[in-house]
Amino acid sequence: MEAFDLLMTGFDTLLTPTRIGFMMLGIILGLLVGVLPGVGGTTGVAILLPVTVFFEPVSALVMLAGIYWGSMYGGLITSILFGVPGNPWSVAVMFDGRPLAKQGKAGLAMSTGFWVSFFGAIIASVLFTFFAVPFAEMALRFGPPEMFAVLMIAFGTFIGMGGSPGKALIMIAAGFLLSTVGLDVVTGQPRLTFGTIELMRGFHFVPITIGLFGIGEVLANAAERYKVQIEDVTRAAKLGMHDITAGARAVFSNIGLASSSAVLGFITGILPGAGATPASFMAYGFAQKISKHPEKFGKGAIEGVIAPEAANNAAGTGAILPMLVLGIPGSPTAAILMAGVFMWGFIPGPRLFTEQPEFVWSFIASLYLANIAALLICLTATPLLAMMLRTPYAIMAPLIVVLSLIGAYAIQNAFLDVWLAVIFGVIGFILRRMDYPLAPLIVALVLGFSTEEALRQSLIMSDGSMAIFFQRPLSAPIMVVALLLFMLPLFRMFLRRYRRRQQASTGE
């Protein structure tokens, strides 16, 4: 149990009033920036990075990491309450969290989210503590073809998700189309920008998500003449601690789903350049695939809260691992933390573990403490947060719109994004009315760029041969699984037809 002893020395190093103080400060700041849409944990960490240059390294690292963990918890609050994601990785939790809130179960959705975030983070921390090096070695074996195969699995899980497959396909195509705007991955030339410089930055998915969900829903509610609000007031009325225990029970009764989502999230987080956002979508897709009642997804299934939240918190933890062990940042936030590590005078990599064990292990110890602290703070705040929904909708709606527009602007400091949020708000309203699913569009938009990049990188490596995906020892099995996932709805359809025909023939 060498790792265990080291962890204990880590706790020893960490447990000084200053360091714990900085950690708590980080968590609280993280919760706050997590709540503000558009200002995710990444921005929060970036803002405070210069300040930490002159800190003692352990305090600096645990504070910045605290912001990261805090924001992972805070992001789900606005997603569930208003349908405005506080963080990119809080988009998936919105798909079912928001419907739950509309049914008056906001408290339950949030406390479940917090509990499962904690659960996911702790699973990931344990994996981190005991298997850091082997997992990091695994990450190195993932090149572009492997990344492409993993992304194909992500899409595979979304095939046949709710509603008409035709409509889902249209939405996926629209998402891909939007993701191609900007500079071409390989030639660096502008695509679909119509000669404008504004469009060269491409479509960021956050303003579009804010528009489709946040503003789109305000419009939809307005059209339904406050029906929703009346329901909210009557149902949100019963407050109290029981939501918190109910949340814990919900996690316990889905412990299998929570654990597998956490492991899935952790592994996705480790992969270079993937991070928490794809992890949350993949976990959501999987949860729906293996669910006994997939039709409830998108309408307020608690599994739809559990899976993405377990996955994104585990992925957030996982993304730090290759950064410390190999110097490969698994996510943008990890990239900023890595810059910090350099600034504090260390070089990330295997040698960090042997040369600076105190630094590394006190950070690992902080994973545990920070998550316990974040959970306690969040659970205490849950009833208060849920009470916000008792505010009359006439007051709430303009606040949501303002919050949405600020969030859209903040992500890239671009005014075009504000217009995008408004335009996609209207589009979202219309699509909702026509019963088009919005989730596939967001997934394609989020993963579209990485998918295209991985595909084209792989094809450059193989001089254009698709065989590369099936020739490499790691990508081949992943690709086969992905293909099976794509075929699954077809198989099911044939099976159903076959049975029907049999029934018909025996009936005759």
Partner 1 sequence: MNRERHVARAGIGIGPSLCLAAGLSLGAAMAPSNALAQWQPERPIEFVIQTSPGGGSDIYTRLWLGIIEKYELSPVPLTPVNMPGGAGAVALTYLYGQDGDPHYLTPTLNSIVTTPLQQKLPVMYTSEDLTPVAMMTTDPFLLWVNPEKYKTWEEFHAACKENRLTATGTGARQEDEIQIGLIQEAAGCEPFRYVPQSGGGVVASNVAGGHSDFNVNQPAEALPHFPDKLIPLVVFAKDRHPASPDTPTHWELEIGTENDNEYAKLLDLETGLHQVRGLIGPPNMPEDAKAWYDELFKKVFDSAEWQEFMKTNGMLGTYKGSDGYKEFLVTFEDNHVRMMRDVFGWELRDDLRERTGG
Say how many residues touch partner 1, by CB under 8 A: 69
Residue 476 binds to partner 1 (criterion: CB under 8 A)? no
Residue 191 phi, psi (nearest 5): -130, 135
As given in the structure block, the two tokens for residue 184 are 């071409």
Could you tell me which residues are beta bridge partners of residue 183? 190
Q: Which is nearer to partner 1, 216 or 278 (CB)?
A: 278
Minimal distance, residue 463 CB to partner 1, in Å: 7
- Which of the residues 344 through 363 are near partner 1 (CB under 8 A)? 345, 347-350
Q: Which is nearer to partner 1, 119 or 148 (CB)?
A: 148
Distant-in-sequence, close-in-space partners of 103: CB < 8 Å, separation ≥ 6: 231, 235, 300
Q: Identify the three-state secondary structure at position 344.
A: coil
Residue 336 binds to partner 1 (criterion: CB under 8 A)? yes
- Which of the residues 88 through 127 are near partner 1 (CB under 8 A)? none
Whole-angstrom distance, CA of residue 95 vs CA of residue 308? 10
Residue 392 phi, psi (nearest 5): -55, 140
Which segment (48-56, 119-127, 385-393, 429-437) binds partner 1 by CB under 8 A? 48-56
Could you tell me which residues are beta bridge partners of residue 182? 191
Q: Binder to partner 1 among 198, 224, 295, 355 (CB under 8 A)?
A: 198
Q: What is the DSSP string of 35-54?
A: HSTT--HHHHHHHHHHHHTT
Q: Within 13 A of 45's CA, how many CA atoms are on the CB side?
A: 28
Q: Which of 104, 119, 106 is nearest to 72 (CA)?
A: 119
- Which of the residues 129 through 188 are near partner 1 (CB under 8 A)? 139-144, 182-188
Residue 464 binds to partner 1 (criterion: CB under 8 A)? no
What is the length of the chain? 508
- Which of the residues 477 through 506 are near partner 1 (CB under 8 A)? none
Distant-in-sequence, close-in-space partners of 395: CB < 8 Å, separation ≥ 6: none
Q: Binder to partner 1 among 74, 99, 160, 202 (CB under 8 A)?
A: 202
Residue 461 binds to partner 1 (criterion: CB under 8 A)? yes
**Residue pair 26/66 in contact by the 8 Å Cβ criterion:** yes
Whole-angstrom distance, CA of residue 464 vs CA of residue 376? 53
Q: What is the DSSP string of 348-366?
A: -SHHHHHH-HHHHHHHHHH
Residue 273 binds to partner 1 (criterion: CB under 8 A)? yes
Q: Which is nearer to partner 1, 189 or 506 (CB)?
A: 189
Residue 413 phi, psi (nearest 5): 55, 45
Q: Identify the three-state secondary structure at position 474.
A: coil
Q: Which is nearer to partner 1, 144 or 216 (CB)?
A: 144
**In this structure, how many other beta carbons lie within 10 angstroms of the beta carbon of residue 500?**
10
Residue 343 binds to partner 1 (criterion: CB under 8 A)? yes
Residue 239 binds to partner 1 (criterion: CB under 8 A)? no
Q: Which is nearer to partner 1, 410 or 439 (CB)?
A: 410
Residue ranges of alpha helices (H) inside 197-331 are 205-209, 216-223, 227-236, 242-253, 255-270, 276-290, 303-326
Q: Which is nearer to partner 1, 410 or 431 (CB)?
A: 410
Q: Provide the residue type at 62 as one letter.
A: V
Q: Which is nearer to partner 1, 53 or 484 (CB)?
A: 53
Which segment (8-16, 95-103, 326-334, 483-491) binds partner 1 by CB under 8 A? 326-334
Minimal distance, residue 385 CB to partner 1, in Å: 20
Residue 9 binds to partner 1 (criterion: CB under 8 A)? no
Q: Which is nearer to partner 1, 106 or 271 (CB)?
A: 271
Match 């906001």 to its residue by tokens: 106
Which segment (25-33, 107-115, 219-227, 476-484) binds partner 1 by CB under 8 A? 25-33
Minimal distance, residue 152 CB to partner 1, in Å: 18
Q: Binder to partner 1 among 229, 333, 362, 382 (CB under 8 A)?
A: 333
CB burial string 65-88: b at 16+ within 10 A, e below: bbbbbbbbbbbbbbbbbbbbbbbb
Residue 16 binds to partner 1 (criterion: CB under 8 A)? no
Write the CA distances from 104 to 98, 226, 308, integer angstroms.
10, 14, 21
Binding-site string for partner 1 from residue 404 to residue 443, where x marks contact by CB under 8 A and - marks none: --------xxx-----------------------------
Minimal distance, residue 317 CB to partner 1, in Å: 18
Q: Binder to partner 1 among 3, 176, 190, 294 (CB under 8 A)?
A: 190
Residue 34 binds to partner 1 (criterion: CB under 8 A)? no
Write out the residues near partner 1 by the rule CB under 8 A.
25, 29, 32-33, 39, 42-54, 63, 139-144, 182-190, 195, 197-198, 200-202, 272-273, 322-323, 326-329, 332-333, 335-336, 338-339, 342-343, 345, 347-350, 412-414, 453, 457, 460-461, 463
